[in-house]
Structure 1
């Protein structure tokens, strides 16, 4: 069960955890994983698996598997607690760092394999020689798009968080700035 049943949990906190779980589901992340990450993100002290299981009403085995996944994404970390032999966990609380780690994980799991497979497809299509040129062009367009995304991502890794934040807040002002430089938007 992934619903939060403990009425001692403040309503706003419960709502955030439930919404985060639902959003995770929409992004392809297991609801329990997303809820645990949300709970740890909001927690002011490290929690152990039993505490997480209790607070969220999630089976202990599900909590253990979810914690392993979150650790592998580097969204949470194990932390020692003096006088307690159990493992405790805390979340990354810097939202920019979280976003970068999620982007890195998704790139490694989704974009990188897609780029390799698409390169194989384009190479095979060029070797075959009998593929409709329109089909080959569409494959190459997709390959170029993914290469651009990959290049942009690599460039953004070197930009300080404060500058990224400023850039994102600029929004359409960036388009206006590009217009001033004579570059046409398509």
Structure 2
């Protein structure tokens, strides 16, 4: 069995620098590097040396955004969780709501600041960027899913 502790901690650091809370980042890294198909909250608490409340909050957040899911574990009285198949595409699909909200907020900001103002100019760039992302993300996610379905080495 490989010792992936350093790699997992590095991944957690990168995730935390990207905006995740530290405990959530460490839980996510633990899911990515798990040696088993599923893990329990208790296993995560013991492995990471963090409070059960931190793990519970991280599991709730990661479940809410579609990265992990609860799975059946016959014979176990504990809840088991795993990284969801297709998690990254699911996350980017869910991000469309955020992208749309940013677009709308920028558009409302332009109206509030008044066209032609310096703020409106900056907000227009923001609106245009998020409008572009909102239009393009679904096609990118679809292409990714097609590549995954086609299998390794495919140019789908």
Q: Give your verdict on TM over 0.5.
A: yes
TM-score (norm 2): 0.79
Segments of structure 1 that go 5 or more residues without pairing to the other structure are 1-8, 165-186
Compute the displacement of 1:112 (Å): 2.3
The aligned residue for residue 41 of structure 1 is 32
- 2:44 corresponding residue in structure 1: 52
Given that residues 103 and 126 in structure 2 are in contact (C-alpha distance below 8 angstroms), is that contact kept between their aligned partners in structure 1?
Answer: no
RMSD between superposed Cα atoms in Å: 2.5
Q: CA deviation at 1:101?
A: 2.9
Q: Name the structure 1 match of 2:15.
A: 24
The 3 A distance-change label for structure 1 pair 162 and 154 is closer
**Quick one: structure 1 residues 152 and 49, their matched pair in 2 at CA, closer, same or farther if it must change by over 3 Å?**
same
Structure showing greater radius of gyration is 1
Q: Deviations over 1:44-84 (max 9, x none)?
A: 23211111111111111111111111111111111121111
Which shows bigger deviation, 70-79 or 153-162? 153-162
Number of the residue aligned with 1:147: 131
Would the aligned equivalents of 2:92 and 2:141 in 1 still touch at CA under 8 Å? Answer: no
CA gap of 1:63–1:160, structure 2 versus 1, over 3 A, is: closer
Matches within 5 A, 1:28-107: 28-43=19-34, 44-92=36-84, 97-107=86-96
Q: Can you give the 5+ residue segments of structure 2 that lack an aligned partner in the other structure?
A: 149-156
2:30, 2:118 → 1: CA distance?
50
Would you say how many aligned residue pairs link Structure 1 and Structure 2? 147
- Give TM-score, length-normalised by structure 1: 0.67
